[in-house]
């Protein structure tokens, strides 16, 4: 049975590969992009099975209009993939106010608005699924990626709450947490100017590692997309979907450490209760 998907940020990376894969198997895709011509080759090849819409997710009004029009034009949209986003690199002191505002507006607020705009339509059609592309960086943190992490940790918290709110309407969520994956993420990275004071710090080490390309990238984009599509097709998918061995290992390590830390504080936590 064919499905209809709505994918934001479909012009490159996982969004582009997912769009191609879905069209190739016979599904329909509403794809949002920043430039109309970005998916022209797919439009030529697949005709009316792909609908391309120009959208900047930082424009809340445009998000609502685009989502409303997409649902109005389709009999049903089965899966909404909130994928639009990019990375910001720089220590907390290095990034500018403008960079912070754009990062939060795109990755966090933009994703929230896509979800909010989709919910009434999914509710009206009797259910559906929202797939939010986050990152292993929604569970772990690296120096000089603090603002990126703020958006990914933030959207994971929002989704976890929203999932509880709309479960009675047969709407569910999948939070996708890829590790380092061979996409064009690095090419789109917004980098703040370096401050000399951070040269001999973990932030400086991270900056040098990025510049040298020395970080191992084990994730395969095609296989990651296949896992995402499988999650879109599965009747009861997990709330969180870690993709790649790096993501799995880093997230597992972080969760074990947090569990150990909170258990060590149990007596302190309980002592803060009002005496019974």
Give 85-131 pLDDT, tens digit per residue: 999 999 999 999 999 999 999 999 999 999 999 999 999 999 999 99
The pLDDT value recorded for residue 184 is 66
pLDDT beyond 70 at 57: yes
Mean pLDDT of 36-59: 92
| pTM: predicted TM-score of the whole model, two decimal places | 0.94
Mean pLDDT of 26-47: 92
Q: Residue 130 in contact with residue 231, Cβ under 8 Å? A: no
The pLDDT value recorded for residue 35 is 87
pLDDT beyond 70 at 30: yes
State how far the Cα of 262 lies from the Cα of 268, in Å rounded to an integer. Answer: 10
The pLDDT value recorded for residue 191 is 93
Mean pLDDT of 192-203: 96
Delineate the domains of the chain, giving CATH numbers in brackets: 4-245 (3.40.50.720)
Of residues 87 and 213, more confidently modeled: 87
């Amino acid at each position: 049975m064919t499905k209809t998907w709505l994918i934001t940020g479909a012009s490159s990376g996982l969004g582009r590969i997912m769009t191609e894969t879905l069209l190739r198997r016979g599904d329909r895709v509403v794809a949002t992009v920043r430039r109309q011509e970005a998916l022209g080759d797919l439009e030529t090849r697949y005709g009316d099975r792909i609908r391309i819409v120009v959208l900047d997710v930082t424009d809340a009004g445009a998000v609502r209009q685009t989502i409303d029009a997409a649902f109005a034009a389709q009999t049903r949209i089965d899966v909404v993939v909130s994928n639009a986003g990019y990375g910001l690199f720089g220590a907390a002191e290095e990034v500018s106010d403008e960079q912070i505002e754009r990062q939060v507006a795109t990755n966090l607020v933009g994703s929230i608005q896509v979800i909010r705009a989709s919910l009434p339509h999914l509710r009206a059609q009797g259910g559906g699924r929202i797939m939010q592309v986050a990152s292993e960086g929604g569970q772990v943190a690296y120096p000089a990626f603090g603002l990126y992490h703020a958006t990914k940790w933030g959207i994971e918290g929002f989704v976890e709450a929203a999932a509880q709110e709309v479960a009675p309407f047969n709407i569910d969520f999948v939070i996708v947490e890829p590790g380092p994956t061979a996409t064009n993420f690095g090419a789109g990275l917004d980098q703040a100017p370096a401050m000399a004071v951070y040269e001999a710090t973990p932030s400086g080490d991270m900056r040098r590692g990025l510049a040298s390309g020395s970080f191992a990238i084990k994730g395969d984009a095609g296989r990651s997309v296949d896992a995402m599509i499988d999650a879109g097709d599965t009747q009861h998918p997990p709330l969180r979907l870690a993709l790649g061995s790096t993501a799995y290992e880093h997230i597992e390590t972080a969760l074990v450490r947090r569990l150990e830390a909170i258990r060590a504080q149990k007596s302190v936590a309980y002592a803060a209760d009002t005496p019974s």
